[in-house]
Structure 1
Amino acid sequence: MIETDVVVIGSGAAGLTAAITARQLGLEVLVVEKTGLFGGTTAYSGGAPWIPCNHVMKQIGLDDSRAAAETYLRAVLGEAFDEDLVSSYLDNAAAMLAFMERHSDVRFKPFPLPDYESDLPGAARCRSLLTPEFDGRLLGERLADLRMPLPQLMLFGSMQVEGADIHPMRHALKSWAGFRHTAKVMRRFVVDKVRHGRGTRLVNGNALAARLFYSAIRAGVTLWKNTPALELIVEEGAVRGVLVQRDFHRIAIQARRGVLLATGGYGANDKMRARYIPFAEHHHSLQPEGNVGDGIHLGLTAGAVHDLAHAGDCIWTPVSLLRKPDGSVVKYPHIFIDRAMPGCIAVDPQGRRFVNEGTSYQTFVRTMHERGFTKVHLIANRDFVRRYGLGLARPHPFNPQPFVDAGYLVEAATLAELAQKIAVDALQLETTVQRFNEAARRGEDPEFGKGVDAHSKFRGDQTHQPNPGVAPVGVGPYYAVALYPGDLSTVGGLDTNGRAQVLNAQRQPIPGLYAAGLDMNSMMRGRYPGGGSSIGPAMTFGYIAARHIAQGRARVEQKRLAEVA
């Protein structure tokens, strides 16, 4: 049997934050990762934790208060507000951020994104932070062990692009600043491709995963890949370790202080999705292949609770699908890049608008669920596609025709023809566009308020006036892309308390067992206050778990010394 202080199962933001924290507090830590790649769902994400009262916002002259953050969370969560979890989060989130910046290579930069429910009391800006780009070359050979982003979110196979790149790249042939920025990014990529066979400029969630992975290595955390956890070792009701499989051998690991479940939810588990997700047969997940609910299953064997009322909670996003000739399917998440821009509309199966297209991805799909829609369409004209792109179809100078030929985009000369091709009522679609265009010419959207609320206004094209989110659809030819309900991750994990301790059916902590990230039943309970409302709590409760484990060690040492005395 192998012994260590802490075993962390999973290597996303929650697991690696906990591992780094525990190691910095003097504990011996082993991270076991089921797949051959570290980073989990975090590596696919935007890498923006939602952290109230963070010190980073002060860099751009903004401030926040705990009272405002609590007021906002009470308004967003309503009856789902959990005093213990929320208080623990608000007491520790900013401290976690400061700790990680002091004791690791994790860094964040300010981003004045408004909270997603920006009209509610207590809403603020810059609670969502961005991860600065990371030089993947620092990882050396270990770069190959880091999960890459989804290929469909990169250019030329491995060129990563962050939000700050989009505007200058769109204007690469229109302004000197745009050309200079694009040339710099392209030059770096070409050199990387020649020397390393791939891009090494890491951004967004891949940069966060890389910074955590790099910090864990430097801190002396032991990291095992291709090591699935088979079962928890439970003695007298307490979790004492975990049985894993490594190099075809079953190895028992004794965890002297605790085991943290951070395996990343169950998005890749078809059976669990069929049980918990609305309209599961029409629903598409973007989670990595290893996220099959291992942490949830392990916890249940030790007496944990998987709350059926929240088991199906997810971070929703509309998804478009490209079906390739080999039968594989490419899933593209329409987070905000296209649908928030001026000049497009989303229509339901009757050809009517049904939502503010610039709303959060969570609200967009939740509205689809509430209305019973399993497929809607995003519609724009050729000028829009050339300027902003549409899903997988990139802006000019890329050509959208291959996506039309593949059936991903529907093209038509007139709205009537488009309506026939996407099977909606032609008169209704024409009426919808006409009504939208009349107000859009004035920069208005009286029906859904796109570009009026702080969030959708921020997400729009800031060079377009008077409303960054609204412009007429314009003349043909027209394009449509089908959008389906999807998710970026599940968040309905095991019930815990504010110390990240996993609870049993009697609401008592199971000794030695913790959960964070997607294995923990989210304190947000399926709501989504702002960008990074999963990553922020994941890192914070990973940090809380590690500190609680370390404090437990201190209490044990104090007791031992007292007995000796």
Structure 2
Amino acid sequence: MSEVQDYDVAVIGSGAAGLSAAIFAALAGARTVLIERTDYIGGTTAYSAGTTWAPNTRLAATVGATDNPDKVLGFLDRAVGNRSPRAMREAFVENAPKAIHTLMDRTEAQFRACPRHPDYLSEIEGSTLNGRALEPVPFNGSALGADLALVRPPIPEFTILGGLMVDRTDIAHLLGMTKSLKSLAYSIKLVSGFLRDKLRHGRSARLVMGNALIGRLLLSARQAGVTIRTQTTVTDIQTGSETLLSLKSGETLRIKGGVILATGGFGRHPTRRAEMLPTPTAEHSPAAPGHTGELHDIALRLGATYGDGAQTNAFWAPVSTRQRPDGTWAVFPHFVFDRSKPGIIAVGKDGKRFTNESRSYHEFAQAQQATGTLPAYLVTDANGLKTYGLGMVRPGGMGAKALLKDGYLTEAPTLDALAQRLGIDAAGLKDTAQRMNRFAETGVDQDFHRGETDYERHNGDANHGPNPTLGKIGTGPFYAVKLMPGDIGAATGLRTDETARLLDKDGTPIPGLYAAGNDMQSIMGGVYPGPGITIGPAITFGFIAATHASERAKA
């Protein structure tokens, strides 16, 4: 006979949704177990910037932002429309501040408002320049002790010196250390601290962005008394007055209140990926490897259904790839550091631009798919590469030599030669560069209106004018990196009600089953209106699900 263990709430998956749900359940007094199939805690959240879109928190006032629920809902209504139920958005707007304040008041999870982080669709009425986007406060992972080894390391290409995590503040100081004594001192302290951590912990203990959020949540889960099990696979779920979880180990968990699915979505499911993503199916994803959709198969057998009506089944970003020396693939998402900068353009096989390069990564990748620009090529000149970098090439050209050698980066003395090496139309590329040079002088992109919204201008170069996103291309040698769309998270998930309970085809809640994060049908309907619109709802519906499941256990 298998061993039976009793809990009030079980959470499957350990990204922002899973960890926060487990914490909220434990804070509500529920005996809680967190189950993670992989070796690491953190999911794709650990890879991300950790930005959390949570409107109307008390943190907005710290950056001088004014907001209110009606303004937020109006913005979402205009951005998302009927692609998701308004009731779900209302539940999010009502509960997001409660979730964030509970974490900040009762746990180690601390946030701060970004001084300036505009909504992506900043041209839509109701958008804001700041106040809604929160970021995790950097965290000294030494407080985790042995658990530091459980935090999923960041994407290596997003670090320097073999593992040092850096955020925007760090990058600014590192680039300015030859010009400022303050930046030099900052950089020396940053690097020396990293070297000490490597000796002591085998990795960086200074956690920023997504790693900071996961580190803080992990410590908070431990302090709240959550039982954490990694390398643990759920093989079956049985529902009823109580819910039974069968584990691959042969154990059975008897759950009194409910099971919250937070496994990251369908993205790496062996068949559903091809069925639900556009053709040709994206070959590479920059998301963490755990979201195989295995639990979806079980939930669907129990009567759960996928939501419908989303603009797209996944959220997207353009990615560049290279095979590492160990045979694994580096998948680099091009979020903001290059596409929006002056002197960098994106073209297709005809050498022509096909979209506004400064739009959000989601919209850029969608434009690739809609126009059939597969692949696209991100092109710049010597000045652009030195000033802003290009993909995995750091500003100043750091890393360019190795990336040229393995073919990730293409270099040529002229645009004609670059076009020939890329196999694209040379006349089209030269004409595009000439047009961009004229636009750079006038500050007006007559083709795609680049740099006309607050969001686009924010991601340009504030020291460059007249348009911070438009610059000339003309100083050889010239460079290019190949881009393909990469799915960064599921937008279509399991259908739930406002309390995060899974629904069957008739809209009836399935007893004891909940979903949060990318397992849940996105309240954004496949639209990407602002930074952190996956993590914000993930934490919020983790809060909602945990509250309901904990109350069910008490009842």
TM-score bin (small chain): over 0.9
Q: Verify: 1:254 aligned to 2:259, yes or no.
A: no
**Deviation, structure 1 residue 164:** 2.1
Does the Cα contact within 8 Å between 1:170 and 1:388 map onto a contact in 2?
no
Does the Cα contact within 8 Å between 2:242 and 2:254 map onto a contact in 1?
no
- Aligned-pair identity in percent equals 37
Does the Cα contact within 8 Å between 2:346 and 2:354 map onto a contact in 1?
yes
2:121 alignment counterpart:
117
Query: How do 1:158-169 and structure 2 match up within 5 A?
Result: 158-169=163-174
Q: Select between 289-298 and 258-267 the one with higher mean Cα deviation.
A: 289-298
Query: How do 1:42-191 and structure 2 match up within 5 A?
Result: 42-111=45-114, 112-126=116-130, 127-191=132-196
Does the Cα contact within 8 Å between 1:517 and 1:538 map onto a contact in 2?
yes
The DSSP-based 3-state class of the residue aligned with 2:474 is: coil
**Structure 1 counterpart of 2:505, one-letter code:** A
**Deviation, structure 1 residue 362:** 0.6
Q: Using a 3 Å threshold, how does the CA distance of structure 1 residues 367 and 71 change in structure 2: closer, same or farther? A: same
Does the Cα contact within 8 Å between 1:4 and 1:254 map onto a contact in 2?
yes
Q: Select between 498-507 and 383-392 the one with higher mean Cα deviation.
A: 383-392
The DSSP-based 3-state class of the residue aligned with 1:52 is: coil
The DSSP-based 3-state class of the residue aligned with 2:165 is: coil
Does the Cα contact within 8 Å between 1:9 and 1:259 map onto a contact in 2?
yes
Q: Select between 109-118 and 157-166 the one with higher mean Cα deviation.
A: 157-166
Quote the RMSD (CA, aligned, Å): 1.6
1:10 alignment counterpart:
13
Q: Select between 434-443 and 464-473 the one with higher mean Cα deviation.
A: 464-473
Query: How do 1:156-555 and structure 2 match up within 5 A?
Result: 156-235=161-240, 240-245=243-248, 249-307=249-307, 310=310, 313-324=313-324, 327-396=327-396, 398-554=398-554
Q: Select between 540-549 and 440-449 the one with higher mean Cα deviation.
A: 440-449
Q: Write the deviation string for residues 412-442 of structure 1: whole angstroms up to 9, x where unpaired.
A: 1111111111121111111111011012023
**Structure 2 counterpart of 1:264, one-letter code:** G
**Deviation, structure 1 residue 192:** 1.3
Does the Cα contact within 8 Å between 2:242 and 2:257 map onto a contact in 1?
no
**Deviation, structure 1 residue 321:** 1.1
Distance in 2 between the 1:481 and 1:230 partners? 42
The DSSP-based 3-state class of the residue aligned with 1:130 is: strand
Distance in 1 between the 2:282 and 2:239 partners? 39
Q: Using a 3 Å threshold, how does the CA distance of structure 1 residues 490 and 64 change in structure 2: closer, same or farther? A: same
Distance in 2 between the 1:551 and 1:393 partners? 51
Distance in 2 between the 1:308 and 1:58 partners? 37
Distance in 2 between the 1:326 and 1:293 partners? 27
1:563 alignment counterpart:
none
Q: Using a 3 Å threshold, how does the CA distance of structure 1 residues 218 and 489 change in structure 2: closer, same or farther? A: same
Count of aligned pairs between the two proteins: 550
2:26 alignment counterpart:
23
**Deviation, structure 1 residue 270:** 4.0
Distance in 2 between the 1:199 and 1:445 partners? 43
**Deviation, structure 1 residue 525:** 1.5
**Structure 2 counterpart of 1:233, one-letter code:** Q
The DSSP-based 3-state class of the residue aligned with 1:448 is: coil
**Structure 1 counterpart of 2:250, one-letter code:** R
Q: Using a 3 Å threshold, how does the CA distance of structure 1 residues 34 and 325 change in structure 2: closer, same or farther? A: closer
Q: Write the deviation string for residues 493-551 of structure 1: whole angstroms up to 9, x where unpaired.
A: 10001100000010111111100001101111111110100000000000001111233
**Deviation, structure 1 residue 219:** 0.7
Q: Using a 3 Å threshold, how does the CA distance of structure 1 residues 108 and 524 change in structure 2: closer, same or farther? A: same
The DSSP-based 3-state class of the residue aligned with 1:465 is: coil
Distance in 1 between the 2:288 and 2:282 partners? 19
Could you state the TM-score of these two structures normalised by the residue count of structure 1? 0.94
Does the Cα contact within 8 Å between 1:73 and 1:81 map onto a contact in 2?
no
**Deviation, structure 1 residue 282:** 4.1
Distance in 2 between the 1:239 and 1:398 partners? 57
Q: Using a 3 Å threshold, how does the CA distance of structure 1 residues 546 and 282 change in structure 2: closer, same or farther? A: closer
Q: Write the deviation string for residues 346-387 of structure 1: whole angstroms up to 9, x where unpaired.
A: 112211112221211110011111112220000011121112
Could you state the TM-score of these two structures normalised by the residue count of structure 2? 0.96
Distance in 1 between the 2:273 and 2:37 partners? 20
Does the Cα contact within 8 Å between 1:276 and 1:312 map onto a contact in 2?
no
Q: Write the deviation string for residues 277-325 of structure 1: whole angstroms up to 9, x where unpaired.
A: 1134444212222210123222112110023655962220000011345
Does the Cα contact within 8 Å between 2:317 and 2:485 map onto a contact in 1?
yes
Q: Using a 3 Å threshold, how does the CA distance of structure 1 residues 256 and 326 change in structure 2: closer, same or farther? A: closer
Q: Select between 396-405 and 367-376 the one with higher mean Cα deviation.
A: 396-405
**Deviation, structure 1 residue 552:** 2.8
Distance in 1 between the 2:12 and 2:327 partners? 33
